[in-house]
Amino acid sequence: MCGIVAYVGPKDAAPILLEGLQRLEYRGYDSAGLAVVNGKSLKMRKVKGRVSDLAEAVPARFKGTCGIGHTRWATHGVPSDVNAHPHLDPEHRVAVVHNGIIENADALRQRLEAEGVTFESETDTEVLCHLIARAVKETDSLDDAVRRALKSIVGTYGIAVVDAQRPGEIVVARNGSPIVLGIGEKEMFAASDVAALVRYTRQVVHLEDGELAVLRADGFHTFTSDARETAKEPFTVDWDTGHYDNGGYEHYLLKEISEQPDTVARTLRGRIDDRFHIAHLGGLNMDARETRSFRRVKIIGCGSAYYSGQIGAQLIEELARIPADAEPASEFRYRNPVVEPDTLYVAISQSGETYDTLAAVQELKRKGGRVLGIVNTVGSAIARECDGGLYLHAGPEVSVASTKAFTSTAVSFALLALHLARVRDLSPADGRRICEGLRRLPEQIEQILKLDEQIKTLAEKYAHSPSMMFVGRVRGYPVAREGAQKLKEISYVHAEAYPASELKHGPLALINPDMPTVAIVPDDELLDKNLTTLGEIRARSGRILMIGHRAADAADDCVVVPKNETELDPILLTIPLQLFAYHAAVALGRDVDRPRNLAKSVTVE
Ligand code: G6P
């Protein structure tokens, strides 16, 4: 999704902006650009393509110590040089970069065109640029001009603006699209993601929706939309550039899959209490009485976050015996949900920025719902919006397809389920069983990673299938869904996930030798039922790759993973499917870390 970087200080801005844009590449984009203020004029370059193409297009003499940069993910208008940001007014006085969507752009464009303005691009952003360029002539401060222009805007934005007449000053504003300020030594940065800043500073400030900031080399001021100054407390991010390096791996995805013994250990660290066999979750901000009062749990998230929420719902029902279910955040927010006082709502997000999830949380809060966040990015919008929650501590996830955040979310749910269960009826003995199971996870993930060669061979065998079916029952079902999601996201092989028992109610008609099935078959009370399903597939000449705890004759191929406590098995069963999708994508020559049409964090509706 689009990225923003801005710099003002004593140094040349262009190299810093280019480096920042490179750090944002992982979010997904189709074009890139930058503008710097030099003396009282603007220099600008923008290209369709990669940040490396932009770097080549920027001449050696591209001086200016104040500038803004952007990576664009097309929404209004095709990916092209002209539609790329920054956008400039005809006099080349104002330059604007923008993330988000201006919903009333068409109406504003028509109005401006009627007044004689000519547009160069098809973008919504250019509308905003013209509005600001008009306003700067009517006022003596850039922030005031931006504020005036934003008054006409309906929609979401994170923006950065420079004015050639005011060198040394950048104005940024946020509404629904993140903006983070980075505080340096006599220099200031801003970006849509801390990834672009950590090379230069760890001291950051998040803007709230409706806030605007003025940056100069010697510091910053923040304001509300009606120009009242706000007080901000900087905080220190603990992610550094090392987290954003590929660590010698060929792809970030493989690096992140391989990190899971550590990331799961980090999610667990300090949270298991061996005296009472409970989970310590200080961030929930709830006492035991309140924790007991919930009669239902509703989990919301998007994409893989939603699937990990489904694992979470099952863990909560099974351990705490509280009815729980997961739903895509976008569906939830659009169906005017009934919000109940005795329901605990849990929002999940790796990035903490996903617009649909954030909007669902805001809808819940507006209706008085109690919302916890299970989030990876400290200080992100969703984390700030929630009443409490857990951070994953998985470190930044760079590859678009989620892996380590998925497992850490599932582990967080196991902790939350244990917590909810032990203030209810789960016995100390069962609490202990789960605590011990959780502690075994990192070591068992290590063992699964050793199956890499076997899984690679299998992936190469199956990758050329036109389509694949993924099936599982109960605990295996969300695992199957996530497995199918990983495969389609990065290898573009069509994959469908079904509850194993539903196969005979329709999709069995699709089974033939060209449509292999990946079956999730844990060694649990449903083992026999699952083996029957394998028989049904086999009888239709379907090939079967089974992921389970023991080999079965009905399957053509089996990946055998270590057994944990039955409730925790889904976490481990997911990992072979991540490796399977990875190797299938490599075998098919795909751009593993940057799959087509997808973005790491989707900050638009
Ligand atoms: C995008 C990504 C998915 C991710 C989803 C939710 O669609 O491509 O991989 O699962 O967003 O992201 P979040 O940051 O909220 O977990």
- Cβ of 351 closer than 6 Å to ligand 1, yes or no, is yes
563 CA distance to ligand 1 middle (Å): 29
Tokens of residue 184, six digits: 């340096």
600 is a catalytic site residue? yes
Residue-level pLDDT at 25: 87
Residue nearest to ligand 1 atom 2, measured at CA: 600
State the pLDDT confidence band at 27, using cuts at 50, 70 and 90: confident
- Cβ of 302 closer than 6 Å to ligand 1, yes or no, is yes
| DSSP class of 164 | T
- Cβ of 602 closer than 6 Å to ligand 1, yes or no, is yes
Instruction: Encode pLDDT of 468-496 as tens digits.
Output: 999 999 999 999 999 999 999 999 999 99
Q: What are phi and psi of 548, to 5 degrees?
A: -160, -160
Residue nearest to ligand 1 atom 4, measured at CA: 303
Query: What H or E segment, with its residue span, contains residue 498?
Result: strand 494-499
Q: What percent of the chain has pLDDT over 70?
A: 100
The mean pLDDT value for 265-278 works out to 92
Among 46, 298, 563, 600, the active-site one is: 600
The answer to whether the beta carbons of residues 346 and 312 sit under 8 Å apart is: yes
For 179, residues 6+ apart whose C-beta sits below 8 A from its C-beta are 4, 158, 159, 160, 172, 173, 190, 191, 192, 206, 207, 213
Instruction: Encode pLDDT of 532-555 as tens digits.
Output: 999 999 999 999 999 999 999 999
**Residue 440 amino acid letter:** R
- Cβ of 401 closer than 6 Å to ligand 1, yes or no, is yes
Residue-level pLDDT at 265: 95
Sign of CA dihedral 47, 53, 55, 59: negative
Residue-level pLDDT at 371: 97
Residue nearest to ligand 1 atom 11, measured at CA: 601
600 CA distance to ligand 1 middle (Å): 6
Ligand 1 pocket mutation pick from 192, 304, 361, 404 by most atoms within 8 angstroms of CB: 304
97 CA distance to ligand 1 middle (Å): 23
Residue-level pLDDT at 428: 96
> Residue 101 and residue 178: Cα distance in Å, rounded?
13
Strand 31-38 to 494-499 pairing:
unpaired
Average pLDDT in the chain: 94
356 CA distance to ligand 1 middle (Å): 10
> Residue 279 and residue 414: Cα distance in Å, rounded?
9
Tokens of residue 70, six digits: 């952007």
For 364, residues 6+ apart whose C-beta sits below 8 A from its C-beta are 337, 339, 345, 347, 371
- Cβ of 258 closer than 6 Å to ligand 1, yes or no, is no
The lowest-confidence range among 389-403, 411-425, 447-461 is: 389-403
Look at residues 94, 120, 99 and name the one whose alpha carbon lies nearest to residue 109: 120
Q: What are phi and psi of 19, to 5 degrees?
A: -60, -45
Q: Indicate the length of the chain as a whole number.
A: 605
Residue nearest to ligand 1 atom 5, measured at CA: 303
For 49, residues 6+ apart whose C-beta sits below 8 A from its C-beta are 30, 31, 32
- Cβ of 518 closer than 6 Å to ligand 1, yes or no, is no
The answer to whether the beta carbons of residues 208 and 222 sit under 8 Å apart is: no
Residue 6 CB coordination number (10 Å): 32
Residue-level pLDDT at 268: 95
Tokens of residue 423, six digits: 């203030």
Residue-level pLDDT at 29: 86
Sign of CA dihedral 277, 283, 288, 294: negative
508 CA distance to ligand 1 middle (Å): 30
The lowest-confidence range among 133-147, 275-289, 434-448, 558-572 is: 275-289
> Residue 74 and residue 400: Cα distance in Å, rounded?
17
| Model-wide pTM > 0.75 | yes
Ligand 1 pocket mutation pick from 194, 299, 302, 330 by most atoms within 8 angstroms of CB: 302
> Residue 171 and residue 225: Cα distance in Å, rounded?
13
Instruction: Encode pLDDT of 226-239 as tens digits.
Output: 999 999 999 888 77
State the pLDDT confidence band at 581, using cuts at 50, 70 and 90: very high
- Cβ of 350 closer than 6 Å to ligand 1, yes or no, is yes
- Cβ of 83 closer than 6 Å to ligand 1, yes or no, is no
Residue nearest to ligand 1 atom 7, measured at CA: 303
Q: What percent of the chain has pLDDT over 90?
A: 84
Instruction: Encode pLDDT of 114-169 as tens digits.
Output: 999 999 999 999 999 999 999 999 998 999 999 999 999 988 899 999 999 999 99
Q: At what angle do helices 428-449 and 404-422 cross, to 10 degrees?
A: 170
What is the atom index within ligand 1 of the atom nearest the CA of 377? Answer: 14
The answer to whether the beta carbons of residues 526 and 516 sit under 8 Å apart is: no
- Cβ of 400 closer than 6 Å to ligand 1, yes or no, is yes
Sign of CA dihedral 358, 360, 364, 370: negative
Q: What are phi and psi of 159, to 5 degrees?
A: -135, 155
Residue nearest to ligand 1 atom 3, measured at CA: 303
Residue-level pLDDT at 596: 87
Tokens of residue 262, six digits: 């550590």
14 CA distance to ligand 1 middle (Å): 30
The mean pLDDT value for 265-286 works out to 91
| DSSP class of 176 | B
| CA 88 to chain CA mean position, Å | 30
Residue-level pLDDT at 378: 83
Residue-level pLDDT at 599: 80
Residue 584 CB coordination number (10 Å): 29
State the pLDDT confidence band at 379, using cuts at 50, 70 and 90: confident
SS3 assignment, position 254: helix
Between CA 239 and CA 202, with CA 265 as vertex, the angle to 5 degrees is 10
> Residue 456 and residue 468: Cα distance in Å, rounded?
17
- Cβ of 354 closer than 6 Å to ligand 1, yes or no, is yes
Write down the residue that tokens 């329901």 correspond to.
343
Residue-level pLDDT at 141: 93
What is the atom index within ligand 1 of the atom nearest the CA of 598? Answer: 8
What is the number of alpha carbons within 13 Å of residue 75 lying toward its C-beta? 22
226 CA distance to ligand 1 middle (Å): 34
330 CA distance to ligand 1 middle (Å): 12
43 is a catalytic site residue? no
86 cis-preceded (ω within 30 degrees of 0): yes
| CA 303 to chain CA mean position, Å | 9
Look at residues 137, 160, 149 and name the one whose alpha carbon lies nearest to residue 213: 160
Cα torsion for 591, 597, 601, 605, to the nearest 10°? -170
Whether pLDDT at 103 is above 90:
no
Residue-level pLDDT at 154: 87
Tokens of residue 473, six digits: 């029952």
Between CA 594 and CA 598, with CA 597 as vertex, the angle to 5 degrees is 60
